Structure 1
Amino acid sequence: MATKRDYYEILGVDKNVSTEDLKKAYRKMAIKYHPDKNPDDPTAEEKFKEAAEAYDVLNDPQKKARYDQFGHAGMGGAAGGGYGAGGPSMEDIFSQFGDVFGDDSPFGSFFRGAQGGGGGGRQRVRRGSDLRIKLKLNLQEVANGVEKKIKVKRHVTCNTCGGNGSKNGTAVQTCSTCSGTGQTRKVVNTMLGQMVSTSTCPTCNGEGKLVTDRCDACFGEGRVLQEDVIPIKIPAGVAEGIQLSVGGKGNVPPRGGVAGDLLIVIEEEEDADLKRDGNNVVFDLYVNFVDAAIGTNVEVPTIDGKARITLEPGTQSGKILRLKGKGIKELNGYGRGDELVHVNVWTPKMLSAEERGILEKLRNSPNFQPKPNKNEKGFFDKMKDFFHG
């Protein structure tokens, strides 16, 4: 397999290139290696795709940072880190040119015309807007996953007219200006010769059809607002701020097209007892120094209910007990975190005269004198062992 060339070398720029200079470099390469300009050069299309792949990565701050750190290995094996494994298609590339050449540029409109496979005769499928909602989950739902039914108000296709906005779904005619393509075309003279420039049809606004009599149910919109109940499955291990997507459950566009997506932003409710730390959960256990000295059994809360643990005689404040597998499941993985029980020995703030007298008798007892040995680790070493060892 051939070694992939460096993206900066392909476009002839350095790592500190500005966004505008990167666009200029890409425009230059795109014009130079466009297949229509090089019909006798079988390598032109590959170089054209190579430049598009380089621009796709270097123009995206996250992809660029990953590439700068790891090179091609950091792009996950997929061409450009965002295309399919076979590399960018010509349709992928042409879709970039509104940004690179400008929507009003003859080059941009030419490339968009080429995207449809020869002159812009194909009407582009319109897509509706996405819906975004916030979903609160408690710690148990986050840890184990949950199925929810969510009520959302969204635009759906009008059943009366079938989505085209016309009375009874039949009062519609093909736009005579663009012959139903949604685009108008004109020949533009450029440095590459004559090119066909396309633009949105001003008569039908790119829809290709005109409504002659509006639907009474949707008033010509082709869509109505309704409340839907949408079932969703939340995987175990999600975290605050993670965004999940349900395809096709957003709004449909006016008068035909495909629906957008429903985007679900996760919010975590704070648990009364357990605190999350990555996939681990932490519980602060407070015990009196008598129980710490002579040992005892205590119940502690976990994600899945109560668990009984044993405190050995002589348990020191700051000791961390690990309950294996009592934490949060790994998102899209098979592992699970632990519960870390942090022991805090409680010192009473108020004492009765009798209690004070008992403790005064024990104050100078040899067993009450602090005598840490070399096996007694400090707090920092304990935390290092649990979180890094």
Structure 2
Amino acid sequence: MTSRAYVARDYYDILGVSRDATPDDLKKAYRKLAREFHPDVNSSPEAQEKFKDINAAFEVLSDPQKRQIVDMGGDPLAPGGGGAGPGGPGGAGPFMGFQDIMDAFFSGGGMGGASRGPRPRRRPGADALLRLDLELSEAAFGMESPITVDTAVVCSVCEGSGAADDSQPETCDTCNGAGEVQSVQRTILGQVVTARPCPSCSGYGTVIPKPCGKCGGDGRVRTRRKLTVKIPSGVEDGMRIRLAGQGEVGPGGGPAGDLYVEIHEKPHDVFTREGDDLHCKVKLPMTAAALGTRLTVDTLDGQESVDVHAGTQPGSTLRIRGAGVPRLRGGDQRGDLYVHLDIRTPTKLDAEQERLLHQLAELRDEEIVEPARGNGFFSRMRDAFNGHA
């Protein structure tokens, strides 16, 4: 089975800059290309791949050490280590690949550099996110809502240590507590000391002979908890409420992250919401709009009467001040309720109603165009074709 050689990418060509480009030149080129190929602007699959290449090129050329490897003919992002010269990809012998060189530079080993030391078993936990569906009135006036969350909590048996009662973490025999092991290899840059996490202790520097039977040595377990979240009045769809320290407990019983409760407001049967204002539509007969009337309108606080003045035109809107949603952290301030009038014209009239409307039109001196009675031009043409001319 033959293997294909990896061809190093020309990151300068990807960004469209010269090999002596300054950091400012790189930033300008990256921003220009990012605006053109960002997935939010250009959704084509080719653009997405191009955007990945642009990011990779900027990442490499912005790093002096990675850029030096590119200038030497290598590719620091090549799988398994890339580059030209001795010790290239898949090469055997006393030289290491470029990926190993990068590991040496960025893992704390370097050219015989200092050790990183063991990583702590106790680390901070991640944040958690929970969706909460609310009715309009609940979001408007606030409430206290019970919620159920599934998160990691400190193990009650080992209290976060990860060890059984009769066991304690012991120093790793492989790395002697350093958390990493080092090796010396020759490269095209000379002798390089590489440091990698210890395979025996996973970089902790200690091992647990008898892990806790409940948490398996992680110091935390998943459980379902019930909490109460206070919803302030005026929250909107998409807002998040932060509950500090109620997220995931970290490995080794580390401090918990935060819990974010994301508000999702359910659609309402009557009202639509725009910020702190509410909108609704009310059907109104033509005669009521012409003569004027008094409407009873539903609001979040109950029913309220509002006057419709005589001669109100289609598309008119009535405003009820202070009948909207309370403003978030706005004290007693509230938005308004807008009532949009849908004035309806009757579609079917009996003989008496039609006579009265004709009479009204005559009194108002309004011209009425009578419908065609069959003696118009098109009627005569139809009769001619039918042989009745």
Aligned to 1:64: none
Q: Quickly say closer, same or farther: Cα 1:353–1:263, change in 2 above 3 A.
A: same
Aligned to 2:36: none
How far apart are the structure 2 equivalents of 1:336 and 1:194? 72
Point out the more displaced range, 294-303 or 172-181: 172-181
1:53-202 → structure 2 map (5 Å cutoff): 105-110=103-108, 119-121=115-117, 123-124=119-120, 126-168=123-165, 170-180=167-177, 182-185=179-182, 197-202=194-199
Aligned to 1:224: 221
Cα offset, 1:329, TM superposition? 4.7
Which amino acid in structure 1 is aligned with residue 130 of structure 2? Answer: I
1:286 paired to 2:301: no
Taking only the aligned residue pairs, the percentage that are identical comes to 32
Greater helix proportion = 1
Q: Quickly say closer, same or farther: Cα 1:193–1:332, change in 2 above 3 A.
A: farther
Which amino acid in structure 1 is aligned with residue 309 of structure 2? Answer: E
Aligned to 2:300: 303
Aligned to 2:201: 204
Aligned to 1:86: none
8 Å CA contact 2:290–2:311 kept in 1: the answer is yes
Q: Quickly say closer, same or farther: Cα 1:145–1:30, change in 2 above 3 A.
A: farther
Could you list the runs of 5+ residues in structure 2 that have no partner in the other structure? 1-21, 34-53, 69-98, 369-389
Aligned to 2:55: 19
8 Å CA contact 1:103–1:109 kept in 2: the answer is no
How far apart are the structure 1 equivalents of 2:295 and 2:109? 71
Aligned to 2:379: none
Which amino acid in structure 2 is aligned with residue 167 of structure 1? Answer: A
Larger radius of gyration: 2
1:345 paired to 2:343: yes
8 Å CA contact 1:223–1:253 kept in 2: the answer is yes
Q: Quickly say closer, same or farther: Cα 1:137–1:367, change in 2 above 3 A.
A: farther
8 Å CA contact 2:184–2:193 kept in 1: the answer is yes
Could you list the runs of 5+ residues in structure 1 that have no partner in the other structure? 1-6, 33-100, 113-117, 371-389
Q: Quickly say closer, same or farther: Cα 1:190–1:143, change in 2 above 3 A.
A: farther
Aligned to 2:356: 358
Point out the more displaced range, 190-199 or 352-361: 190-199
SS of 2:225's equivalent? Answer: strand
TM-score (norm 1): 0.61
8 Å CA contact 1:133–1:264 kept in 2: the answer is yes
8 Å CA contact 1:130–1:250 kept in 2: the answer is yes
Q: Quickly say closer, same or farther: Cα 1:107–1:321, change in 2 above 3 A.
A: farther
How far apart are the structure 1 equivalents of 2:262 and 2:101? 33
Q: Quickly say closer, same or farther: Cα 1:260–1:196, change in 2 above 3 A.
A: farther
1:376-387 → structure 2 map (5 Å cutoff): none
1:9 paired to 2:6: no
Which amino acid in structure 2 is aligned with residue 106 of structure 1? Answer: A
Q: Quickly say closer, same or farther: Cα 1:363–1:189, change in 2 above 3 A.
A: farther
TM-score (norm 2): 0.61
How far apart are the structure 1 equivalents of 2:244 and 2:195? 31
8 Å CA contact 1:102–1:108 kept in 2: the answer is no
